[in-house]
Structure 1
Amino acid sequence: MCVHPMVNPVCLVENVGSSFCVSDDAIRYLEQISQPVVVVSVVGLYRTGKSYLMNRLAGKQTGFALGCTIESETKGIWMWCVPHPNKPDHTLVLLDTEGLGDVKKGDSKNDTWIFCLAVLLSSTLVYNSRGTIDNIALEQLHFVTQLAEHIKVKSPTPAEGVENKEEEEEEEEEDSQFVKFFPNFIWAVRDFSLELTTREKGPIKEDEYLDNALQLKNGIDDKVLNYNLPRQCIRNYFPSRKCFVFPMPAAPESMSKLENLGEGDLHPGFLEVSQRFCDHVFTESRVKTLKGGHRVTGRMFSHLVRLYVETINSGKIPCLENAVVSLAQIENQAAVQEGLKVYQSRMAQVRSSFPVSADKIFDEHQKRSQMATTEFMKRSFQDQHGKYISLLTEAVDEHYSELLGENASSSEQRCRQLLSDRSRVLNEGRQRGKYTKLGGCAIYCSHRDSVISQYQSQPGKGVKAEETNAEANFILQADKSLKEKDKEFQRRYQKAALEEQQKKALEEKHKELQRAQQVEAKRHEERMQQMETKFEEEKRLQVEELERAMEKKLAEQKDLIKKNYHEKAELMRQEIKQLQDEIGKKSQSFFFLLFK
């Protein structure tokens, strides 16, 4: 998990009056998790044993508070992060929510937001109830009928003069989109004491039991519509459904001390169902994803929690599309900093060797730039117009320019020091007047040529070697210790050599410019290739998201046809057609249209 194991659950979202408060400690813990997270939430009426199920998933006997009275024990949303038992390098995040319908709380709106938060944050949503799945149980799950009013898929675009009818159509369209983004649904029926049989089929499986309970009635009167509403919502929003029926775990007199009972004290049937439940959750629960299929890490999950809670507290409706935009901005800004950090840390090794040749610093710049882009791509997403990769490129180039200046300065300093050290013989000659005597010019030229030769043979001078050499020759040529006629002779003698050195210095600058252009062209090509790979990966995730939704809707349509709900099956066919069209569009590559 990259962090110390969480020994006990911590409060993630505290219920404070009519608003929610996010725990800073819980957020700090999540921010340290760079692994993908699988998020499992349990919701249900208070005092139905939700916490016990979560402890089983955590592989612990105690952890989430169970309580043994008629009062709700869990307040707000509590979190327990544990290593995923089936997926290496993944973290299982368990969320135990405050019991719904607590008469002491008396705030159904608060309950609705707890339920919505569980839906928004989860990969798998477990609804926990007691007894049987009957009409009363479904009516108690009335929160599901309010999801369309409390969760939006797309960012609302209000305009003047919008008709109520258009708003209703938009809401219906949003309604059909939930299947793409909502979690898997598990109904856990506790203390089940009936036989799983029907008159028509005899023995049935748990999933059939749930399916039978969700069957719709024909008719259009209010009674039928009210009966169908929660069933229709569950079918539409959660087509991936699973049911587990748990017998009583122990004798009634032992229920108050459930967390202290060993497995030998529990009913074998209860243990068997518990194991199947855990195995299913571990195997079938997917990594939490955002709209568009991007996988969520613990760090991203922390931002998601804050974002949704702040939105609810402000009186606004949480929006999946807005969440993606906000998280993309946060993650892409961080990705720029991480990419730049990689570049700076690697180039620091080159800086410690200054001065270096132009080839050396160019080659290192090219390699480290690519590493920076690769690091950026690991964390970035939804950078469709290249805004953030451009920011990284600008930051890298700015740092590179600073390094070029430092390298040039270091080279010039070293070259001047070398010339100064090698020029001692000339200084001694001046002091002794050797160059003002007869034949002094020849002696001077010999000494000067020796200085230049030693300077040129010295390695590690860097990018200013020729430029400093040419400058030194100009200075030496104007040496005041020479007689005037010797100076004239020296000027003629030096002219060709000086011009040659200046030519070399200019050629070196031209080569540096060409090399820089070549490096930039190659960097751009590599960056475009990496961006195209990233774009195609994001597109693949989006297509997979749509294909999963279509697969679920096809199964639902088949069931509707089988049950002779032809009108609803036709509506489902239209939704499937929309998904097929969307998949077709997503399958086309628009990368080069975006980045031309």
Structure 2
Amino acid sequence: MREPVCFISTDADGQLFVTKEAKDILDEITQPVVVVSVVGLYRTGKSYLMNRLAGQQTGFALGSTIESKTKGIWMWCIKHPCIDDHTLVLLDTEGLGDIEKDDEKHDTWIFCLAVLLSSTLVYNSLGVIDNTALKNLHYVTELTENIRVKAQVGSDDDSSTEFMRVFPSFIWTVRDFTLELKRDGQSITADEYLEGALVLKPGCSSGIERLNRTRLGLRNFFATRKCFVFPRPTKDEDLMRMEELTEAELNAKFLEQAEVFCNYVFNSAKPKAITGGQTLTGNVLGSLAEVYVEAIRSGKVPCLENAVEALTQIQNKQAVDQALQIYREQVSMSVCFPLDPLELSDIHRQAEKKAIYAFISISFNDCEQKAQMELMKQIQNEYEDLCAQNRNQFLLVCKEILKHVFTSLDEDLHDGSFIHPGGYLKYRNKLQCLTKQYRAETNNKLMSEEVLSEYLKEQEKFDMRILLADQRLSEAEKREEERRLQNEALHQQQRALKEKNQLQEQMLHDQERTYKEHLNETLQRMEREMNRSKEDNERVLEAKLKEQEALLKQGFQELADQINKKIKSLTDEMKKDEESKPSTLQKVVATVSMAASQFLRGIIPKAININSIGEG
């Protein structure tokens, strides 16, 4: 993308909607996406930070008046500068707190969508982090009211553990920062400055509770927190023309901090993932945004579990259709019948591999592998049709060669040229000579022996007629010749059967290869998702342990005890997940094997050693 486009806008009725232009762009992105959103009060310089991340001086609109410039959420997709085969999606959100807005809930939904769609959330503010700044971030305290993780009413949906798993990492950028980073006379880091601002205030009055609510929200919902402080970028009179300024005209310390900020985002922001470690691609991100926005439009609370269910249906059908289309396109570019069976098998293998890769990229939450098995079945049907077409083409070619080679023999038979003493030997010699010529011209082509077998079987009536009519042969010679004819017929049947068996073996080999290819991809994806889920749990666990330690130091024993219960629950869950991992993978092997055996005749349902998958 050369420039940003509007991603989520509002219609004439003030309702949010995902724009077609942005959705079409995301639909083309089958790579994992790293999504960075920026939120904050309007007129705080959010858009400029996003432009820096895009490596551009201009792009996201910068306002130079008291009016909010960005409306809705704007999107800019670029190649990730540090991670191969990943796309960086930058989301610049409408400024919060614009007094001209009519809908008080609008800002809340913009903030919630930024949280739900991003893997890293940047909150941008001016001045310092104090009580006023925390009050301006009151949207954090409303997250549990406006976002649900679980669909079932009464489930443990307000658990901070659940939110931490799916919420993005949090970066607070403080602009126009003029203070020294010192506390009690000692230098501190920006991160220490943030964490110090999030220390809970003792007491239980309503005022203190309000002050602590945002602090607790940030501590309980965002496992990873980071802070950057930026000095004023330039002189006051130049702020209105930031897009025009060269780097030489900007504050060197501002540029230095901007570079540190960008490098941190590039190297630490993870691909967007949701429950179970499932990484999102661009097309899934677009569909996810539509699901969330539709929930908001209908007056419902966006629910991650419901979104996953909806996405599963949307994405998996699309994944099968697109993967099948890719298979067909790849095949059509390479197939020109007739083809050597091994060459057709190789074309099938290459096309299927690309189709499976596309399916894995597009599909979503195919836990029971139903969509993948449907793709396997569809491709197998396509391949069997290709093989049938190939056989028919070879059949026509071999029949043409046979007609050309045996025409003279058929004419002689029609004229009765062999019905005379000594005619049988002449007939037999010509038949053998032409058979040899036919085999030379067909050169072991597919279907050549089957076509020859059919022809020779039709000739049997002429064999016996000519043999019996040849008075030069004795009865003993005729009986001997009958036995020879029977043996030749048997040998020819064996040749044709061998040809069929070779085709069958090739088909079974292709089916086994198909099965292993699908199984390998499935297991690899599950392994990646399990590892990502484990990383997310470890990140949450580390955050909980730090939070417990901090609460104990600050004297909040009751809150620390609550955290301890969550730590124990999470630890037990992680242990259970690790113990069940082998059996989960083995169950997948058995499921794929059983399903594949229904339409891949060469696959016998069985439990396969997971370590052996991919061998051979």
1:563 correspondence with 2:549: no
CA contact (8 A) 1:430 1:481 kept: no
Counterpart selection for 1:40 from 36, 39, 43: 36
Aligned counterparts of 1:217 and 1:207: Cα–Cα separation in 2: 19
Give how far 1:304 is off.
2.5
Shift of 1:112: 0.3
**Is the CA contact 1:180–1:549 (under 8 Å) kept in the aligned structure 2?**
yes
2:183 is the counterpart of 1:188 = no
Name the SS for the 1:394 alignment partner.
helix
Is 1:67 equivalent to 2:63 in the alignment? Answer: yes
Distance 1:333 1:436, change over 3 A: same
Task: Report the secondary structure of 1:33's partner residue.
Answer: coil
Q: 230, 255, 258: which one pairs with 2:214?
A: 230
Matched, 1:139 2:135: yes
Q: 1:244 to 1:459 in 2, by over 3 A?
A: same
Whether contact under 8 Å (2:534, 2:574) holds in the other structure is yes
Aligned partner (choices 228, 252, 265) of residue 236 of structure 2: 252
1:188–1:246: 8 Å Cα contact kept in structure 2? yes
State the shift of 1:102 in Å. 1.3
Shift of 1:117: 0.8
State yes or no: 1:92 paired with 2:75.
no
CA deviations on 1:102-125 (whole Å, 9 max, x unpaired) are 111132211100000111111221
CA, structure 1 residues 525+189, in 2 after alignment: closer, same or farther (shift >3 Å)? closer
2:108–2:139 CA contact under 8 A, matched in 1: yes
Answering whether residue 257 of structure 2 is matched by residue 273 of structure 1, we say yes
**TM-score w.r.t. length of structure 2:** 0.84
| 1:443–1:221 Cα change, 3 Å | same
Residues 408, 462 of structure 1: 8 Å contact kept: no
Does residue 370 of structure 2 align to residue 387 of structure 1?
Answer: yes
| Identical amino acids, percent of aligned pairs | 40
Q: Does 1:593 align with 2:587?
A: yes
State the partner residue of 1:163: none
Describe the superposition over 1:6-54 as per-residue Cα deviations: whole angstroms up to 9, x where unpaired.
3322211112343112222222223333433322211111222222222
1:561-585 per-residue CA deviation (whole Å, 9 max, x = no partner) reads 2222222122222222222222222
Deviation at 1:530, TM superposition (A): 4.1
Contact 1:118/1:125, CA 8 A, preserved across alignment: yes
Q: Distance in 1 between matches of 2:213 and 2:22?
A: 37
Normalised by the length of structure 1, the TM-score is 0.87
Decide which of 370, 395, 404 is 1:421's aligned counterpart: 404
The question of whether the paired residues in 2 share the 8 Å contact of 1:414 and 1:461 is answered with: no
Bigger mean CA offset, 394-403 vs 342-351: 342-351
Q: Which amino acid aligns with 2:158?
A: E
Query: How much does 1:360 deviate?
Result: 6.3
Structure 2 counterpart SS, 1:170: coil
Q: Which amino acid aligns with 1:14?
A: S
1:13 alignment partner in structure 2: 8
Q: 1:124-523 counterparts in 2 under 5 A? A: 124-154=120-150, 156-158=151-153, 167=154, 170-173=156-159, 175-198=160-183, 200-337=184-321, 339-341=323-325, 343-344=327-328, 351-354=335-338, 356=340, 372-373=355-356, 376-377=359-360, 379-430=362-413, 433-460=416-443, 462-479=445-462, 485-486=468-469, 494-506=485-497, 508-509=499-500, 512-513=503-504, 516-517=507-508, 520-521=511-512, 523=514
Counterpart AA for 2:567: I
The answer on whether the counterparts of 1:385 and 1:595 sit within 8 Å (CA) in structure 2 is no
Number of residues of Structure 1 aligned to a counterpart in Structure 2: 578
Q: CA deviation at 1:595?
A: 4.0
Q: Distance in 2 between matches of 1:265 and 1:363?
A: 60
Structure 2 spans left out of the alignment, 5+ residues = 472-477, 591-616
Give 1:58 deviation, angstroms: 2.5
* Structural RMSD (CA): 3.1
Q: CA deviation at 1:253?
A: 3.4
147 and 424 in structure 1: CA distance in 2 versus 1, 3 angstrom threshold: same
Q: Which amino acid aligns with 2:101?
A: K
Deviation at 1:210, TM superposition (A): 2.0
Q: Give the Cα separation in 2 of the matches to 1:30 and 1:250.
A: 36
Q: Secondary structure at the match of 1:434?
A: coil
Assess if the C-alpha contact under 8 Å between 1:39 and 1:92 holds in 2: yes
Q: Which is worse superposed, 312-321 or 341-350?
A: 341-350
How many Å apart are 1:150 and its aligned residue? Answer: 1.3
Gaps of 5+ in 1: 1-5, 159-166
* Structure 2 partner of 1:3: none
The 8 Å contact of residues 477 and 491 in structure 1, kept in 2 or not, is answered as: no
Contact 1:188 1:244 in 2 (8 A): yes
Moved more, 563-572 or 246-255: 246-255
Change (3 A) 1:355 1:595: closer
Q: What amino acid sits opposite 1:109 in the alignment?
A: K
